[in-house]
Structure 1
Amino acid sequence: MELGLSYVLKSVVALIVIILAANYGLKYLNTFMIKKNQVIKVIERTPISKSSALSIVEIADTYYLMSFTDTRNEILRELTAVEKEKITSSIEEKRPAGPMNQKKQQTSKKAVQTFKSLRTQYQSFYEKRK
C-alpha cells in the first residue's frame, strides 16, 4: 500500500511541474506573438444578445461603431470627431492617473450616455430586423 501511495504522490508532483512549465513556456512564447503597434483595437464591446454585440473599434486612428454576429461583421457608421473625443477622454480617465476633476467626470458621463444611446438605437434596429 505504501508503494502505491508514493507512486500517486510522485505522479501528482510531476503533473504539477509539467503544468507550471507549460504555463511559463506559453507566457514566454506569447511575448513574441503580441504585436506592439496594433492598427486595429477594440475599444469597447457590449453584447446585445447571445450571438451579437456592438463594439467601438479604432482602425488607423478612425473610430467605427461595428456590429458583430455569428454570420456577419458590419461597420454601422464612422464616429464623428466629437464622439471620438468623448471616447478618447473616457479611455484616459479609466487609466489610474490620480484623482479626476469634475470636468473630466462630466465628460466621462456624457461619453457613457452617448454610447448607451447609440446602443439602444441599434438594439431597436436589430429587433426590427428580426
Structure 2
Amino acid sequence: MGLGIGLGYVIKSILALGVIIFAANYSLKYLNTFMTKKGKAIRIIERTVVNKSSSICIVEIAGTYYVMSFTDTRNEILRELTESEKETVIKTQETTETSENMQKKPVFSEGKSVSFFKQLQSRYQSLYEKRK
C-alpha cells in the first residue's frame, strides 16, 4: 500500500519537472529574441572553419570588406579586400541567394494558400521587427 502512494508522488514529481524544464526552455528562447540584436553595420559574409577553435571569415564592416581570423583567444584583421575582390564576393553572394530562392518552391499548388502564407509571414516579420 505504501508503494502505490510513493509511486504517485514520483510520477507527479517527474511530470512537474518536465513542465518546469519546458517552461524554462520556452522562456529562454523568447527572451533570446530581445537579447540578440542584429547589427546593420557588421555582417559575416562567409565563414570557413580551420579547426575546432579557429575560423577565417569575410566580414563586412560599414561597407568595407575584411578577411578576419577568429580564434578562442584572439580576433584579428588579416587584410582588407580590394575593390575587385569585393565585387567578386558580392556577385558570389548574390548568385548564392538567388539559387537558394529558386530552390524554395511553394508547398501548396493553389495560389490563394501561398498568398495567405506570404501575408502571414510578412505580418510575423513586421511584429518581430517591432519587438526589436
TM-score (norm 2): 0.62
- Offset at 1:43? 2.0
Structure 1's unaligned 5+ residue stretches are: 100-130
When residues 12 and 66 of structure 1 are mapped into structure 2, their CA distance, relative to the original with a 3 A threshold, is same
* In structure 2, C-alpha distance between the alignment counterparts of 1:4 and 1:71, rounded to whole Å: 52
Identity %: 61
Other-structure match for 2:88: 86
Other-structure match for 1:97: 101
Indicate the SS of the match to 1:38. coil
**Residue by residue, what CA displacement relative to the aligned partner does 1:82-130 show, whole Å, maximum 9, x if unpaired?**
222232333333333216xxxxxxxxxxxxxxxxxxxxxxxxxxxxxxx
- Offset at 1:66? 0.8
* In structure 2, C-alpha distance between the alignment counterparts of 1:97 and 1:50, rounded to whole Å: 31
Aligned-residue CA RMSD (Å): 2.1
Q: What code does the residue aligned with 2:16 have?
A: A
- Offset at 1:14? 0.9
When residues 65 and 10 of structure 1 are mapped into structure 2, their CA distance, relative to the original with a 3 A threshold, is same
Number of paired residues?
Answer: 99
Structure 2's unaligned 5+ residue stretches are: 104-132
Other-structure match for 1:35: 37
* In structure 2, C-alpha distance between the alignment counterparts of 1:51 and 1:27, rounded to whole Å: 26
* In structure 2, C-alpha distance between the alignment counterparts of 1:27 and 1:98, rounded to whole Å: 30
